[in-house]
Amino acid sequence: MAIESIYRDKTVVERLVQQIQKIHLQHPVRVMHVCGTHENVISRFGLRDLLPEGVDVVAGPGCPVCVCPGRDIEFANELALKEKTIIATFGDMIKVPSSAGSLSDSKTKGADIRVVYGPFDAVKIAKENPAKEVVLFAVGFETTACGVASLIQQSNLPENLSILISHRLIPPSMEFLLGVGDLCIDGFLIPGHVAAVMGMEQYRLFPEAYRIPTVAAGFEPVDVLMGILAIVTQIKEGTYRCENVYQRAVQEKGNVKAQTAIKEVFDIVPAYWRGIGKIPRSGLRLKERYKMQDARCRFNNPPFPPLQKGGEGGLDINPGCSCHLIMIGKIKPTNCPLFGNTCIPEAPYGPCMVSMDGTCRVWYKYKRNV
């Protein structure tokens, strides 16, 4: 598309890489991004190979489908197998494994599972099926949560529609990871979409309290490289601040209308992240006044039992799968012995091999021949 082609321009890319190379750093730098779309552009355009030695970019917990706790998927399966119930969810969720199997497994057993592009599709399904309970299984970060909030704000929602909320907030997970001592994160690359919605203010904490350069970037090669250049420049200069290199979409204050919708509809609660554990103030729950739309209330989803311990120290992770380490950027997919053999997109063994936001899935797509 013409409007974006300049952000893929080879000469600009080369010049930015040269700029990054010119900055001589005292020690190796690890930049963490927290967005599946960033991982896609980095892998697709081979940006890691262009970066000088000593500058590495790792993927953090940027895949909402991957971090959705197995027990939410189990609950969705339980509902799916009830009579006269339809589960509507984003395509990415269908194949994610849990100890009760995936939604796709339930579909094989006869459950009615529908793929939606946006929350409003679920309204349509509910209206077309008045004799059935329709449950929208809503995962996603701030960018998806605002849409679901907007849906909930509508008057005259069909009575047979309820929502199973499994939304997560990005900044609390970033702060959580800074406490994982051996991760050594020197800079954060912020997903431009989340910043476009939530604004820059919520990231001030990282440069101010942790002295970590924090830069919001878009999703073309030039955007990502501008972000990395900004981060290494700050490190070199010893200045730490929030920067926005995605001015064409991100305004300082973000999208206040979307933020207001989120605030109006949700309470912020502690939440589990698959493979990572409980993170304070990182999840959303429907406010009391929307109880009627809350699938957890409607179907009496009891207070959660403790998470099952999975393999090799990972919570909620199958034995042998290393997603708990992938999600925090500690190892790369190619370090997992199952990558590309036992675990492939057609038969994903772990959650990171399902969605195109999942690091293993992205690496499989772009690095299978490496």
Partner 1 sequence: MCLAVPSKIVEIKDTIATIDVHGVRRDVSILLLPEDVNVGDYVLVHAGFAIQKIDKEAGDDAMRLINELIEMDELKE
Q: Are 310 and 324 in contact (CB under 8 A)?
A: yes
Binding status of residue 64 toward partner 1 by CB under 8 A:
yes
Q: Which of 119, 310, 348, 358 binds partner 1 (CB under 8 A)?
A: 119
Q: Pick what 210 binds: ligand SF4, partner 1, none; C-beta below 5 to 8 Å, kind-dependent.
A: none
Smallest gap, in angstroms, from Cβ of residue 190 to ligand SF4? 24
Q: Which of 196, 265, 321, 362 binds ligand SF4 (CB under 6 A)?
A: 321
DSSP label at residue 315: B
Binding status of residue 67 toward ligand SF4 by CB under 6 A:
no
Q: Which of 113, 145, 323, 362 binds ligand SF4 (CB under 6 A)?
A: 323
Q: Which of helix, strand or coil describes residue 272?
A: strand
Q: Are 188 and 32 in contact (CB under 8 A)?
A: yes
CA dihedral 205, 209, 213, 217 (to 10 degrees): -10
Q: Which of 25, 81, 120, 366 binds partner 1 (CB under 8 A)?
A: 120
Which pair of structure tokens corresponds to residue 87?
């589960």
Q: Which of 336, 355, 357, 362 binds ligand SF4 (CB under 6 A)?
A: 336
| Distance in angstroms (rounded) separating the CA atoms of residues 204 and 26 | 25
- Binding to partner 1 in span 236-295, by CB under 8 A: 245, 247-251, 255-258, 261
| Distance in angstroms (rounded) separating the CA atoms of residues 79 and 133 | 9
Nearer to ligand SF4, 54 or 320 (CB): 320
Q: Are 327 and 310 in contact (CB under 8 A)?
A: no
AA letter at 221: P
Nearer to ligand SF4, 122 or 328 (CB): 328
Q: Are 137 and 166 in contact (CB under 8 A)?
A: yes
| Distance in angstroms (rounded) separating the CA atoms of residues 142 and 145 | 5
Binding status of residue 351 toward partner 1 by CB under 8 A:
no
Q: Is 184 exposed, middle or buried (0-12, 13-18, 19+ CB in 10 A)?
A: middle
Sign of CA dihedral 180, 182, 188, 194: negative
- Mark the segment that binds partner 1 (CB under 8 A) among 115-123, 176-184, 293-301, 358-366: 115-123
Can you say whether residue 301 is alpha, beta or left, with left for phi > 0 and alpha for psi between -120 and 50 degrees?
A: beta
| Distance in angstroms (rounded) separating the CA atoms of residues 89 and 161 | 13
- Mark the segment that binds ligand SF4 (CB under 6 A) among 93-101, 224-232, 305-313, 347-355: 347-355
Which pair of structure tokens corresponds to residue 32?
């963490």
- Mark the segment that binds ligand SF4 (CB under 6 A) among 165-173, 200-208, 241-249, 346-354: 346-354
Q: Pick what 336 binds: ligand SF4, partner 1, none; C-beta below 5 to 8 Å, kind-dependent.
A: ligand SF4
Smallest gap, in angstroms, from Cβ of residue 314 to ligand SF4? 9
Binding status of residue 360 toward ligand SF4 by CB under 6 A:
yes
Q: Which of helix, strand or coil describes residue 113?
A: strand
Site residues, ligand SF4 (CB under 6 A): 321-323, 326, 333, 336, 338-339, 343, 349-350, 352-353, 360
Site residues, partner 1 (CB under 8 A): 1, 3-4, 6-7, 12, 15-16, 19, 22, 36-37, 40-41, 64, 90, 92, 116-121, 140, 143-144, 146-147, 150, 193, 196-197, 219-220, 222, 226, 245, 247-251, 255-258, 261, 357
